C-alpha cells in the first residue's frame, strides 16, 4: 500500500472539504479503494499506486475548480471525479474575471469597465477615473486577484493616501495597523467578496497581499506584483510621482481616482490631475474615464451623481455665511471682535 500527502495550496480547505466535511465524505464514497484523511490543508491518501495516480489527477482538478469558483458542490465533485471537469454552463461566455466567495461571477457590467479590463492586458500602467460606484477599484482588485490565482504575480499590493474625507478623526487608538485600517476598509471589503476568509487571512499574514498607506511605499521596488493605488485624487504631486517610480519587473500598476472627491486642503493641487496631464502621451499607459452610466451601485447613486453634476454646471456657487461685523455677536454666541 502506498501513502501520499496532497497539500491544498491555492484553494480554501473549507471549500474543498465542504460544510461539516460533506465533500470529504463524498470523495471517500466515490473512491472506495482509497483511504482519505483530511487535516488542515493536507490530504493523506493511502491505496494502490494506480488508484493514487488517478487521485492525483482528481485532486488537481478539484483544487483548480475550488480556487477559481470559490465553491465546490457535491454535483461538481461527482463530475470532477468522473470526468475531470464540472459543468459550469456558460462559465466562459459570462466573461467572469473571478468568482465571489458565494460562487457568483464578477465580470464587467458596462462598456468602460470592459475597456478597463482590456487596457489592463495591453498596458503595464493604467489610470481609471470616474464617479463613486463606477467599479474602478472593484474591477482593479478583481484583476489583481485573478493574476494571483493564475500565478501570474507573486503578490498584490493595495494602497491609498490616508486623507480624511472632510472631517477630522483626531488621534486614533491602537497600533499602526489599527490606526490606518479605517482608511483602507474599502479595499478589505472588496477582497472579502473575492477570497474566502481563511485564505485571505493567510495571504495577509504572509504578505502575499499587502495593504498599506501610501507613505509606506517610499524606498521600495515592487516586483512580480499587481499594485493598486486607490483614491489617487488625494495624492500630492510628490506622492504620486514616488508611487509610480516604485514599479519593478513583471509588475502592473492601476491608479484609480474620482476628481469630484478631492479632500486635500485648498492650497494643494491633486497629484492625479497633474499626472494625467504629464503622462498623457507616454506609450504603454492607458487612461480610462468612467461616467455615471458605469455606476453599478443602488440606482439612487446614479441620480445623486447626476444631480450634483447638474448643480455644478447650472448653479452659481452656494453663498457662504457672512462673517459678523466688528462688535456684533456671531451665530455661535462668540464675539466677532477678536
Q: What is the mean pLDDT of the chain?
A: 83
pLDDT at 124 over 90: yes
Confidence (pLDDT) at 166: 42
Greater confidence (153 vs 1) lies with 153
**Residue range 292-313: average pLDDT?**
75
**Residue range 164-176: average pLDDT?**
51
Q: How confident is the model at residue 91 (pLDDT cuts 50, 70, 90)?
A: very low
At 291, list the grid cell: 461616467
Q: Phi-psi region for residue 91, left (φ > 0), alpha (ψ -120 to 50) or beta?
A: alpha
Alpha carbon of 147 to those of 98, 152, 159, 247: distances in Å?
Answer: 10, 5, 18, 17
Determine the Cα–Cα distance for residues 64 and 11; give it in Å rounded to an integer. Answer: 8
Which range among 33-37, 231-235, 264-268 shows the weakest confidence by mean pLDDT?
Answer: 264-268
The fraction of the chain above a pLDDT of 70, given in percent, is 83
pLDDT at 92 over 50: no
Nearest to 62 by CA among 32, 35, 38, 92: 38
**Residue range 198-203: average pLDDT?**
89
**Residue range 32-43: average pLDDT?**
91
Determine the Cα–Cα distance for residues 7 and 39; give it in Å rounded to an integer. Answer: 10
Confidence (pLDDT) at 184: 78
Q: Structure pTM?
A: 0.74
pLDDT at 223 over 80: yes
The owner of cell 450634483 is 308
Nearest to 184 by CA among 229, 143, 130: 229
Q: How confident is the model at residue 245 (pLDDT cuts 50, 70, 90)?
A: very high
Confidence (pLDDT) at 325: 45
Confidence (pLDDT) at 286: 94
Q: How confident is the model at residue 165 (pLDDT cuts 50, 70, 90)?
A: very low
pLDDT at 180 over 80: no
Does residue 226 contact residue 144 with C-beta atoms inside 8 Å? yes
pLDDT at 36 over 90: yes
Three-state DSSP class for 98? strand
* DSSP state for residue 316 in the 8-state scheme: P
Confidence (pLDDT) at 87: 57
Question: Cα angle at 60 between 55 and 63, to 5 degrees?
Answer: 120
Confidence (pLDDT) at 81: 87
pLDDT at 122 over 50: yes
pLDDT at 90 over 50: no
Amino acid at each position: 500500500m502506498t501513502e501520499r500527502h496532497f497539500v491544498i495550496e491555492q484553494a480554501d480547505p473549507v471549500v474543498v472539504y465542504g460544510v461539516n466535511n460533506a465533500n470529504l465524505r463524498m470523495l471517500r464514497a466515490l473512491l472506495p479503494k482509497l483511504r482519505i484523511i483530511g487535516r488542515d490543508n493536507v490530504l493523506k491518501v493511502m491505496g494502490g499506486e494506480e488508484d493514487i495516480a488517478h487521485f492525483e489527477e482528481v485532486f488537481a482538478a478539484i483544487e483548480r475548480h475550488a480556487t477559481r469558483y470559490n465553491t465546490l458542490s457535491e454535483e461538481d465533485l461527482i463530475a470532477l471525479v468522473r470526468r475531470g471537469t464540472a459543468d459550469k454552463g456558460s462559465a466562459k461566455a459570462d466573461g467572469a474575471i473571478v468568482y465571489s466567495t458565494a460562487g457568483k461571477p464578477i465580470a464587467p457590467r458596462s462598456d468602460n469597465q470592459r475597456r478597463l479590463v482590456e487596457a489592463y492586458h495591453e498596458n503595464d500602467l493604467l489610470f481609471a477615473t470616474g464617479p463613486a460606484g463606477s467599479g474602478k477599484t472593484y474591477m482593479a482588485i478583481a484583476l489583481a486577484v485573478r493574476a494571483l490565482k493564475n500565478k501570474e504575480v507573486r503578490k498584490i499590493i493595495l494602497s491609498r493616501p490616508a486623507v480624511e474625507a472632510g472631517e477630522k478623526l483626531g488621534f486614533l487608538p491602537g497600533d499602526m495597523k489599527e490606526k490606518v485600517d479605517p482608511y483602507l476598509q474599502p479595499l478589505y471589503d472588496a477582497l472579502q467578496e473575492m477570497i474566502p476568509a481563511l485564505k485571505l487571512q493567510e495571504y495577509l499574514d504572509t504578505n502575499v497581499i499587502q495593504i498599506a498607506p501610501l507613505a509606506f511605499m517610499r524606498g521600495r521596488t515592487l516586483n512580480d506584483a499587481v499594485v493598486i493605488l486607490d483614491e489617487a485624487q488625494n495624492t500630492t504631486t510628490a506622492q504620486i510621482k514616488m508611487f509610480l517610480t516604485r514599479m519593478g519587473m513583471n509588475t502592473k500598476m492601476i491608479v484609480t481616482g474620482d476628481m469630484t472627491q478631492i479632500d486635500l486642503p485648498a492650497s494643494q493641487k491633486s497629484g492625479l490631475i497633474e499626472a494625467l496631464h504629464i503622462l498623457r502621451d507616454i506609450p504603454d499607459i492607458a487612461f480610462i474615464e468612467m461616467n455615471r452610466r458605469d455606476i453599478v451601485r443602488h440606482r439612487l447613486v446614479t441620480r445623486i451623481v447626476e444631480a450634483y453634476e447638474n448643480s455644478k454646471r447650472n448653479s452659481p456657487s452656494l453663498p457662504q455665511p457672512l462673517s459678523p461685523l466688528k462688535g456684533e455677536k456671531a451665530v455661535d454666541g462668540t464675539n466677532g471682535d477678536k
